[in-house]
Structure 1
């Protein structure tokens, strides 16, 4: 079976099987990172660049929306990733007043501000971080499946407004002080919404609306997913900016 046919077969299987979709995303993570690097003009860094998460979500979107009429799957996925990253960049530009690293240095000097920044990255250390990040993703994916969730579910359920995001993190802060609540989540596979709402003073309807996001948040903050946890907190700071 040629590679093109094999990819199409895997994509078709991933459309209706969340485990297959997560495995396909994990297998093609180097491709996703390459597309993100092409857009950023530098390698994406886990825990710092939201663009990598956006690219992963776009890849999952490509799985759901692919048909043979769209041509090569990887070409289609690459175009969709680029489109979503452009949308994200435009949104960030509208909501922030930060200087772009892609801006020209000056009229008489070639290059951009990004070109002037020294890159001290230790490539061996970066490779180790990448492998550790992939292991965390694989382990979290496995654990989420126990709750009938996948990464796409969590991403779609993530709060979009700062006020709602803060409310979810207040519920998280309360849950972290209540080991019994966390144990209840693990044992019953159900989010103890009533107790979370009462203890954190967050409206129950807010917690119910973002149940999938909260389940992932609690699992991440209680199971040693250090790199993913760092990424989430950097995203929270980005929303606050």
Structure 2
């Protein structure tokens, strides 16, 4: 039985089967021993896991990676709202250590952000390789002038809105230069010169998983400027 059927047919059994995953994920975040009947953290994690079951689809990638992110985010929100000033951590010797909750939370959030960025770049690099482009060379093939960046961004958006062009790009791993020139009014010379950069823009903007990469695109969306 595939995952979707498990979620639809017997949610309670699926959650019960994965209580160890929920516990381990929560423990790795809280770094303290937890009890199902006593600790709010596990209840929050359970609710987040159930939410993951509700909202998951195959486009989100691996289910358990997705569920882990939702659990982490739910616990972070809980830590922010709690009035606790310190957070209790047990080390392997069961000695008690206290750390400042705010400092711990900030460090954890930074680590999670960095992990997400690294994973996103890894996935993007794999996708770029299918187009014979390496992530490391993008800076070399990126325009320095803002007008050119804005122009290429708007060309990319026009391409994404055109199903025929997107099918061609996905199938052939290249740009249909002539077709894009007709659609946008851009010169073929411009499209050829910035081919790799334009492909990277299209890949990022057409994939909802690339949240961090999109945040780096500080470009103005407007009319296409003929170049």
Return the TM-score normalized by structure 1.
0.45
Structure with the greater alpha carbon radius of gyration: 2
**Greater relative CO (CA pairs within 8 A, separation 6+):** 1
TM-score, scaled relative to structure 2: 0.48
